[in-house]
Amino acid sequence: MASSFSLRKGMSRILDGIMKYRQTLRPLLLEEFQKVATGPSPEGLLLTCVDSRVVASRITQAVPGQLFIVRNPGNLVPNHNCFRNNETVGGECGALELACSINKAQVIVVIGHSDCKAMNLLYSIRDDLKSPSKGPLEDWLRVHGRGTIEQFKKLESSTGFERKLIFAGAQHYEDDFEAYIDPYNQFKPSDKFSQVNTLEQLKNFLSYPFLKERLNRNELEVHALWTDISKGEVYMFSFQEKTFVKIDETSYKTLTLECI
């Protein structure tokens, strides 16, 4: 089976993967599954992109029952105002309530990434929002990505993308934070756009009443990660350094001090 695994596609490859899991990984995870069989005690919620290259459980080495994982195109956090009329119900809203209100998860992390196809699309139409939408993906991005476009236009108006941006508070309304996007100019403009988008999402958690209370009591913390897919590196936004910092042996201890 191992030799044919990479040659098969579609559902056949999915079934091959399940068999491989049964033979290799399941015996190792069985004890973990038994621990959470009657109910998990999740520690956090990761909100990331649907992109198949972003495997949040792998990069965090999460065990069964540890994390809720929510995925949508562009790792967008809809503002709670979108759901106030009860005519529109979003999975993100339900997942946030399940994870952070009912199960009392302690942290929410938004994870963006390089070469994000959703963000690449939004980046490409950022100056042409008055034209008719070409489909549901574009509709989704236009509705929930306008803040990202506004922030990025401030950034690209500066020489060399050097402008300091101010983002609305992620933890409390009064705690607006500053950010320098890619200060060493390592990434292309559309990836800078993706980093801006990741930070822009943080403010929306305060729009949810059931999150606002816990945020104000410091029972819940909010963070942003960003992954460089081509190199397999993961960055954390440091509120102290005011930029995304690569998580490695040098930065790890300092970054942990920013966690509650």
Cα 243 to Cα 194: distance, rounded to the nearest angstrom? 13
Q: Which stretches does DSSP call E strand in the chain?
A: 44-49, 67-72, 107-113, 165-167, 177-179, 221-228, 233-238, 243-246
Phi then psi for residue 75, to 5 deg, are 40, 55
Q: Is 113 annotated as a binding residue?
A: yes
Q: Is 49 annotated as a binding residue?
A: yes
Q: Is the dihedral of CA 113, 117, 121, 122 positive or negative?
A: negative
Q: Which residue has the tokens 């990660």?
A: 225
Distance of CA 72 to the CA centre of its chain: 9
Q: Is 116 annotated as a binding residue?
A: yes
Cα 98 to Cα 105: distance, rounded to the nearest angstrom? 9
Number of residues written out for the chain: 260
Q: Under DSSP, is residue 217 helix (H, G, I), strand (E, B) or coil? A: coil
Token duo for residue 172: 């409390």
Q: Which stretches does DSSP call E strand in 162-232?
A: 165-167, 177-179, 221-228
Token duo for residue 126: 């950022």
Residues 6+ apart with CB under 8 A from 145: 74, 76, 122, 197
Pairing, β 165-167 against β 221-228: unpaired
Binding-site members are 49, 51, 113, 116
Binding-site members for Zn(2+) are 49, 51, 113, 116
